[in-house]
Chain A
């Protein structure tokens, strides 16, 4: 059972009235893998997640969660979920909400473990307070605790930091890294690309209901670059750098095999070298690149 992937989704399709929201999306999340789900507003990320978890009926396609078809409720025994729209029974206290979810999940979690989950999201001192009086960010923190409380093997987070303060965002990043350490699979949908880039092993980019790109970070960000700050660049030296992108004194070239040799040649030609640094296309640039070139492909 454990060699089956955490999520296996195949050819998911969903139409709302006339609008196609998801159009043939397939992907897998391996055990212990952190997958980032990226894409512009309305790309269908939340719809994919809801179909995956059995909240929305797909028009076509299949999903297996932790080795079981998602039509079987038991497939969700070890799944934690933080919805994009996070709301919890306002008449219950934070601790009671966790107790409820533990009971529904059918696992044995002690009161002190529940308290620990609340502590993890910074709500330890609000355990006895009614959720109705919580601020938005506190409700999202509670949602995180709910997603993590029943010892999940797969955690699905739909924009987990949308309401959090910068400190909370850093906490979530640490949480994600600790999940990764414990080999918990994570599906993370976020608009904060830095967050995704920091923690995700692999990324799926959705655009208008289709998978626009998918792969590991090195695969997606493959092109490595070298940034140079140069003055006194002669025509001869410029030819040596070709092809390059220039912004004032800043030159960007694809990473050459032998950096010291290039620098030595430049110096020999009288070029003054102020700075040399390796650079990588950021995920953000790559994402914008992919999304902007999409219309031509369609």
Chain B
């Protein structure tokens, strides 16, 4: 247990001292500034959020920005998770550490914990900053901010776990690229699925459902979006027709959340197994 905590702390220390953090901070600041500008434009065009259209615009732009954050978090953690394990094996840093009286699974779980903490911390800080911007510019406050942020953090954790699994078998760069590629692919599959739903084409809709099962990042993202949206707005639009990449009609089911947790645990277990068997 002390090993897990020690390695988690080390991973957080690494994240805070490497350049990743600075790049993340810069990207986040840029996105926050852009969104602040965007929202103030919306506000001046519509003169406060009174009409349904303005609410629609505000909600969509908020989700767009949050998607940007989730992308930054995904990229950041994926490119942090990859190097942190396979990079250490390649460079030889792992040699001295792994000959201490520690189990490899403990080291892996410690890294995972540290990275999840980092991802969650980033999502929280950036998300809350964005909520404040939206609140100050157009006076909108999302209905379930905490649930939404937790789902975003879960999405980051899921992707990071996958990246960690890849990094036990392939090179650091490749594992980051693979994870981000898959993340993008499921997002697109999710969009394709919504189009299928809108057109009442069950076989096309199935694409989204299946991909959401295989990699739960898109499903979790949809759940997060749902909790950032104004429920009145959703009721106004009605169900089904207007499902877009940045609007989500239905909150997540408990079964899906359970699946996402099981999925993450499974992938982490696989990563531990694969790391255990690896020659260093």
Chain A contact-residue range equals 20 to 34
What separation, in Å, do the CA atoms of A217 and B246 have in the docked complex? 76
Contact present for A83 and B100 (CB under 8 Å): no
Contact present for A73 and B17 (CB under 8 Å): no
CB distance from B102 to the nearest CB of A (A): 6
Q: Which residues of A contact B92 (CB under 8 A)?
A: 83, 85-87
| Cβ-neighbour of A76 out of B3, B14, B100, B279 (below 8 A) | B100
The interface bits of chain A over 72-108 (1 if a CB of B lies within 8 angstroms of the residue's CB, else 0) are 0111110101110111110110000000110111100
Asked, given contacts A87-B93, A89-B93, whether A79 binds B18 with beta carbons under 8 Å apart, the answer is: no
Q: Which residues of A contact B98 (CB under 8 A)?
A: 54-55
| Cβ-neighbour of B99 out of A54, A86, A89, A106 (below 8 A) | A54
Q: Does B103 sit within 8 A of A, measured CB to CB?
A: yes
Asked, given contacts A103-B2, A104-B102, A105-B101, whether A81 binds B96 with beta carbons under 8 Å apart, the answer is: yes
**Chain A, Cβ-Cβ closest to B276:** A57
Q: Which residues of B contact A86 (CB under 8 A)?
A: 92, 95-96
Q: Does B29 sit within 8 A of A, measured CB to CB?
A: no
Q: Does B201 sit within 8 A of A, measured CB to CB?
A: no
What separation, in Å, do the CA atoms of A105 and B100 have in the docked complex? 6
Contact present for A88 and B3 (CB under 8 Å): no
What separation, in Å, do the CA atoms of A69 and B102 have in the docked complex? 14
Q: Which residues of A contact B97 (CB under 8 A)?
A: 100-101, 104
| Cβ-neighbour of A56 out of B18, B103, B279 (below 8 A) | B279
Q: Which residues of B contact A81 (CB under 8 A)?
A: 95-96, 99
Q: Does A157 sit within 8 A of B, measured CB to CB?
A: no
Contact present for A104 and B95 (CB under 8 Å): no
Contact present for B2 and A73 (CB under 8 Å): no
Q: Which residues of B contact A147 (CB under 8 A)?
A: 96
Q: Does B236 sit within 8 A of A, measured CB to CB?
A: no
What separation, in Å, do the CA atoms of A89 and B3 have in the docked complex? 17
**Chain B, Cβ-Cβ closest to A107:** B101
| Cβ-neighbour of A91 out of B18, B91, B95 (below 8 A) | B18
| Cβ-neighbour of A88 out of B6, B17, B96, B103 (below 8 A) | B96
Q: Which residues of B contact A101 (CB under 8 A)?
A: 96-97, 100
Chain B binding site: helix, strand, loop or mixed by DSSP?
A: helix
Q: Does A50 sit within 8 A of B, measured CB to CB?
A: yes
What separation, in Å, do the CA atoms of A89 and B97 have in the docked complex? 10
**Chain B, Cβ-Cβ closest to A82:** B96
**Chain A, Cβ-Cβ closest to B15:** A91
Q: Does A53 sit within 8 A of B, measured CB to CB?
A: yes
B92-114 residues at the A interface, CB under 8 angstroms: 92-93, 95-103
CB distance from A167 to the nearest CB of B (A): 24
Q: Does A30 sit within 8 A of B, measured CB to CB?
A: no
Q: Does A44 sit within 8 A of B, measured CB to CB?
A: no
Q: Does B280 sit within 8 A of A, measured CB to CB?
A: yes
**Chain B, Cβ-Cβ closest to A76:** B101
Contact present for A57 and B100 (CB under 8 Å): no
**Chain A, Cβ-Cβ closest to B93:** A87
CB distance from B272 to the nearest CB of A (A): 14
| Cβ-neighbour of A53 out of B18, B91, B99, B277 (below 8 A) | B99
Q: Does A143 sit within 8 A of B, measured CB to CB?
A: yes
Q: Does A118 sit within 8 A of B, measured CB to CB?
A: no
Q: Which residues of B contact A85 (CB under 8 A)?
A: 92, 95
Q: Which residues of B contact A87 (CB under 8 A)?
A: 91-93, 95
CB distance from B55 to the nearest CB of A (A): 46
Q: Which residues of B contact A55 (CB under 8 A)?
A: 95, 98-99, 279-280
**Chain B, Cβ-Cβ closest to A52:** B99
Q: Which residues of B contact A75 (CB under 8 A)?
A: 101
**Chain A, Cβ-Cβ closest to B7:** A104
What separation, in Å, do the CA atoms of A33 and B2 have in the docked complex? 32
What separation, in Å, do the CA atoms of A83 and B96 have in the docked complex? 7
| Cβ-neighbour of A77 out of B13, B95, B101, B103 (below 8 A) | B101
Q: Which residues of B contact A89 (CB under 8 A)?
A: 10, 14, 93
The interface bits of chain B over 8-24 (1 if a CB of A lies within 8 angstroms of the residue's CB, else 0) are 00100110011000000
CB distance from A139 to the nearest CB of B (A): 10
**Chain B, Cβ-Cβ closest to A74:** B101
What separation, in Å, do the CA atoms of A64 and B103 have in the docked complex? 17
What separation, in Å, do the CA atoms of A292 and B14 have in the docked complex? 49
Q: Does A146 sit within 8 A of B, measured CB to CB?
A: yes
What separation, in Å, do the CA atoms of A146 and B96 have in the docked complex? 8
Q: Which residues of A contact B280 (CB under 8 A)?
A: 50, 55-56
Q: Which residues of B contact A54 (CB under 8 A)?
A: 98-99
Q: Which residues of B contact A105 (CB under 8 A)?
A: 100-101
Q: Which of A76, A79, A87 has the most CB of B within 10 A?
A: A87
Asked, given contacts A57-B277, A57-B279, A73-B101, whether A91 binds B96 with beta carbons under 8 Å apart, the answer is: no
Contact present for A103 and B93 (CB under 8 Å): no
Contact present for A73 and B103 (CB under 8 Å): yes
Asked, given contacts A56-B279, A104-B3, A104-B6, whether A88 binds B93 with beta carbons under 8 Å apart, the answer is: yes
- Show the binding face of B for A, using Cβ within 8 Å: 2-3, 6, 10, 13-14, 17-18, 91-93, 95-103, 277, 279-280
Q: Which 3 A-B pairs have the closest CB atoms?
A: A85-B92, A104-B100, A83-B95
- Show the binding face of A for B, using Cβ within 8 Å: 50, 53-57, 73-77, 79, 81-83, 85-89, 91-92, 100-101, 103-106, 143, 146-147
A-B contact pairs, 6 of them (CB 8 A): A55-B98, A57-B277, A74-B101, A83-B95, A85-B92, A146-B96
